[in-house]
Structures are given as C-alpha cells and as structure tokens.
Amino acid sequence: MAGSNQNIALRITAIYALVGVLWILFSDWLLCLAVEDPRVLTRLQMGKGWAYVAATAALLYWLVHRDTAQIRRSEEDLLVRNEELTVVEEELRQQNEEFIVAEEELRQQLTENYESRKKLFEANEAMTAILQASPVAIVALDREDRVVVWNRAAERLFGWLEEEVRETPFSLLHPDDAKDGKRVCASACREAVLHDIEGVRMRKNGELVSVSISTAPLHDPAGLNAGMIAMFTDITDRKSAAENLRESNEKYAELVNAVSGIVWELDVESFRFTFVSQRSEDILGYPAEAWLADPGCWERSIHPDDRPWVLAACRATHGEGSGRELEYRSLAADGRIVWLRNSFMVVEDANGRVKLRGVMTDVSRRKKAEEDLSMLNAELEQRVAQRTSELEELNRELEAFSYTASHDLRAPLRHIEGFSKALMEDYYDTFDGAGRQHLDRLCSAARKMGQLIDDLLRLAMVSKGEIIRRPTDLSMIARGIVQDLMVSQPERTVAFRITDGIKVNGDSRLLQVAMENLLVNAWKYTEKRKDAIIEFGVDEDRGQTVCFVRDNGIGFANEHANNIFKPFLRLHRTEEYEGSGVGLATVRRIVERHGGHVWAEGREGHGAVFFFTLDN
C-alpha cells in the first residue's frame, strides 16, 4: 500500500511538472505571436495565469480524486483485513497465555521434581557418607543372609572389600558360636532387636577377632521383613584389657598381701572399712573379715590412751583434704602392745565417694630402738656435759698456763735480750769473729723466741672470746696494712692492687689480724722479685662472694695446699724467710670462727692465691 501511494504521488507530480513546463514555454510565445499591444498582452498573460491555475487545479482535482478513490477502496479492504487479523491475533494471544500458564506449571513441576530428586540424592549421599564414615562396622543382610551393605569399617575389621562379599552369604559369628548366630538371624525375622551379643568372628587372614553384635530387622516398603542390619564392635582390646585387669587385680591382691603393713580403705561417710589386707591378722591377730564386718573392731584395737586423738585426727584429715601420718599404740588380740605408723590420704572413688586409703606398719622395733637411742642420747648428753665442764676447766687452766708461760718465758727472754744488747754495745769489738757470730745468733734466737710467743698468744686470743659482728670494710683495712708495710721497708717497690668497696659483716678486730697475716705473707714471699705484685679483690664467679689475696712471689707446690694452714708447718727454711709458721693457722681459725672457709692455690715460681669466704 505504501508503494502504491508513492507511485500515485510520483505520477501526479510528474504530470503537473510536465504541464507547467509546457505552458510556461509555449504560452508566452504564442501570445507574443498573436498580440502586439502590450496592454492587451499583459491582460492576456494575467488571464493565462489564472487560466493555468484553474486548469491545473481541475486537473489536480481529477487526478487526486481518481487516486484517492482507489486509496479509499484499498483502505476499506485493509480495514476489513485488519479486523480479521485482530480476531486471529486475539485468538493467538489467548492461546499464548494458555501456553505460558501451561509452561509455568510444567516448569514448577520440573523444578519440584528436580528439588525432590536433589534432596533424595543428597540424603542418599549423606546416608552413604555417614554409613561409610561410621567407626562401627555395619553389615546389612537380605532374607537369605546375603550381604547387601558392607561399609569401610567392616572392611577394616574383617579384611574383605565390599565387592568381595556383596551378594554372598555371611555368617555373623565363628562356627563355634553358630548357635548364637542362628539365634540372631531368627530373632531378626521375629522383629526383635538384640544388643551386645559377644562372640568371635574370623578375619580374612584367618585371625579371630572378638566382637560385640547389635542387630535390628529391615523392612521393605510393604512392611514385610527384608533382612537385618548388624553392627559389629571390635572388643578384642576390651577383652584383653579385662583379662589384664583380672590378672592385675590378682597381682595387686598378691602384692597387697605381700606388703609388710596392713593396706586398708575406709569409707568416710559410714566410717567403715571397705578393704583390709590379710596382714592385719599377722600383725594384730584380727582377720580382715572381722574389720569389714565389725565397724568397731579397729577402734577397740587402738590403745585407750591414744584412741580419742587418733579418731579425731582421722576425721580431721577428711576435712583438710590432705594426707597424714600417725603413730600410736594398738592392742593385739593376744594383749600385746603394737606400735603402728598409719600413713593415709584422702581420695575420691569413681562414684564420687570420699575414702581414706593407707598403710599401717608395725614400728614396734623402731620404737624400741628409739627408746634405747633416747636413753643413750641422755647418757651421752650427760657425758658431753661432763666433758664440756672438764674442757672448760682445762681451757681455764690453759689460759692461766698461757699467761704464766708467756710471762715466765718473757722475763728470762728479756734478760737474754738485754744482756745480749749490752754485750753488742759494750764488748762487741773485744770478741773475735767466732764470738761475734755466736753473739749475733744469740740475739736472733731471742727475737725469734719473742715473735713465737707473740704468735702463740695471738692464736690463743683468736680462738676464744665472742664474735662481735658489724659492717667491716676489708678494702680500707688492706690499705692501712699496705701503708704500714711500705713504711717498714721504703726501699722496696711493690705494685698493690686493692679493689675498693669490699665490705663484709664480721668482727673487725679479728679480720684485721687475718688480713694482716695474709698481706704480710705475700709481702714476705715477694721480697726477691723486682716486679712484685700483690692483689686483694673479690671473685663473684664461683657462686658466692670469695675474697682473695694474690701475689707473684715464690709460690709453692700445689700438693702442699692443704697443709700450709697447720700450725708450725713451714715450706721454707727460717734462714730464707723469717716466720713462726703460726700466721696462716691464725687466718684459718679466724675464718672458721666466722663460719667461712679458706684455701690456697699455688705454683712454684709463679706465686700463690689465698681464698676465703665469710658467713655474713
């Protein structure tokens, strides 16, 4: 239709254009040929124009009217056809709606069917997974006892794979237990459920395994019996554990009865014995059965003087929740007094009941030995007191003797020193060489004797008297002693290394004597060294505070380290180094009185080190 309308428009336009062109080209030319008067020509040309308009309008009307009629007829035909098409379209729309509804219903049915199948599949998969993951061996049999289900636990338990046993007959138990096996199958057919039937089953490799079986019947959709399902639990370890427990109980009973004491258990709530070993009859003469049957048997066996506090202690132990050890007297069946050491503790059994468990041991022989020892100790203490009194008397006599001896020895010694000095001053030139030598030796011996007396008195002084402890600066004491030594021999060059701040808690008077002896000893034995070094310090790397005096003098062989602290023991001759041999013994006595320890280390030609500790 659109193409037809377009052709009509083209034809009308073409005719109009052709007529217009021909009129314009030929009308003016014809008028000019026919008329010469301009006015007339103008009016004719205007009339020609109106005539052309009228003619073309009439022509256009005729053409448009003709084609419009045709178009109208076409539109009427088209309208009729559109109405017919509308009816068909409505019918198609209704059919399409019905189809859509049907399609939606079908889709919903398919979706529901898919979801149902999916849930069924998932449930089946879940049940299969649960069945296969179960640690319990699960076997399903049909009515002919053929395997239809065999999970992985069954494979592990019996050794056969599922494909090896499916659709094959399966006996639940070993042939020796066939009677029970038939009873299981029969009971399943009778709709019964059985639990924990114990028996033996053979594995694929021929080994026997102890199992516990629980069974239940299976039914088909019609409700008829379709077989049975059985669950197998390996109880081999449990059986073995039970056997081991039985043997252990037997050994425990043997061990308990072999214990030298009475092993017992008492229920706190009822205060009755729940276990007593057989040793009760050996020790006290009362059989274990009497203790268990008669609650008052044990209480009556306790000595009347000990009974109240023993029973109170047992009851108090329950309240405290801790163990206890009691020693008391018991009366044996034959009237003997038996000393018992009862060691027990509070426990809680598997049922939550509080118990006392312990062992009663016969300690009568030990008690007799303790009594004998007590008597011996009393006698010994008496003897010690007597000896102490005697020693105190001897010490008083020794002190008196020391004072008298020192006084009596010093008097003639002063005379010897005085007359020797007078001879040296007044008559030295009159003596010949031998006489002068004798006189020198006499004066030297007198000085040594005086020094020895002083050292002995000092050793006696440090061995008695009360220790008065106070904070003492050993570094300051050492510096004072060093100052005195340098003044006494100013010609010597010695490098002193004194660590500052070494402080202890002790008797400053005695520690002054000890430090003086140690430093004088180092001063003396470094005399022949030009590069002499004397140190006083502290060593913290030995686990405790250790003071030391070190020198690089002549030293000593280390095997003599334990002997140099003995009185009068000298490692060198008097002619080489002066001394009485009492100085280091005095040091040891002072250190030991302070609760400490002194020792030495040395090497010949490489010096010595003296260590000491003090109990602060």
pLDDT given at position 337: 93
pLDDT given at position 226: 81
Give bridge partners of residue 258 from the DSSP assignment.
Answer: none
Domain-located, residue 251? no
User: Does 482 share its domain with 608?
Assistant: yes
| Range among 95-99, 233-237, 319-323, 567-571 with highest mean pLDDT value | 233-237
pLDDT given at position 319: 66
Final residue before a domain boundary, out of 182, 210, 240:
240
Q: Smallest Cα–Cα separation from 213: which of 199, 232, 186?
A: 232
Domain-located, residue 514? yes
User: Does 270 share its domain with 330?
Assistant: yes
Tokens matching residue 90: 């409505």
pLDDT given at position 575: 47
Domain-located, residue 454? no
Whether 576 and 568 have beta carbons less than 8 Å apart is answered as no
3-state secondary structure of 287: coil
For the segment 393-442, what is each residue's pLDDT rounded down to a tens digit?
Answer: 766 666 666 666 666 666 677 777 777 777 777 777 777 878 777 777 77
> Residue 454: which pLDDT band, with cuts at 50, 70 and 90?
low
> Residue 89: which pLDDT band, with cuts at 50, 70 and 90?
confident
User: Does 478 share its domain with 541?
Assistant: yes
User: Does 119 share its domain with 149?
Assistant: no
Give bridge partners of residue 266 from the DSSP assignment.
Answer: 273, 356
User: Does 45 share its domain with 150?
Assistant: no
For the segment 483-496, what is each residue's pLDDT rounded down to a tens digit?
Answer: 988 988 888 889 99
Task: Give the amino acid at 231.
Answer: M
The count of C-alpha atoms lying within 13 angstroms of the C-alpha of 9, restricted to the half-sphere facing its C-beta, is 6
| Range among 10-14, 254-258, 263-267, 584-588 with highest mean pLDDT value | 263-267
User: Does 193 share its domain with 77?
Assistant: no
The count of C-alpha atoms lying within 13 angstroms of the C-alpha of 305, restricted to the half-sphere facing its C-beta, is 5
Q: Which residue shows structure tokens 């030009």?
A: 530
3-state secondary structure of 196: strand
User: Does 119 share its domain with 155?
Assistant: no
User: Does 140 share its domain with 214?
Assistant: yes
pLDDT given at position 449: 67
Domain-located, residue 517? yes
Rounded to the nearest integer, the mean pLDDT of the chain is 80
Final residue before a domain boundary, out of 178, 206, 240:
240
Q: What is the CATH number of the domain that holds 208?
A: 3.30.450.20
| Range among 34-38, 80-84, 170-174, 532-536 with highest mean pLDDT value | 532-536
pLDDT given at position 236: 83
Number of compact structural domains in the chain: 4
Domain-located, residue 52? yes
- Compute the average pLDDT of residues 149-170: 87
Decide which of 478 and 77 is more confident: 478
User: Does 228 share its domain with 307?
Assistant: no
Separation between Cα atoms, residue 441 and residue 178, nearest integer Å: 122
pLDDT more than 70, % of the chain: 78
Final residue before a domain boundary, out of 100, 125, 150:
125
pLDDT given at position 23: 67
Residue 608: phi, psi to the nearest 5? Answer: -145, 155
Residue 63: phi, psi to the nearest 5? Answer: -65, -45
The range of the structural domain enclosing residue 496 comes to 467-613
Q: What is the CATH number of the domain that holds 506?
A: 3.30.565.10
User: Does 487 share its domain with 605?
Assistant: yes
- Compute the average pLDDT of residues 370-384: 89
> Residue 239: which pLDDT band, with cuts at 50, 70 and 90?
confident
User: Does 6 share its domain with 93?
Assistant: yes
Domain-located, residue 495? yes
Q: Is the dihedral of CA 268, 273, 277, 281 positive or negative?
A: positive
Domain-located, residue 294? yes
- Compute the average pLDDT of residues 507-530: 88
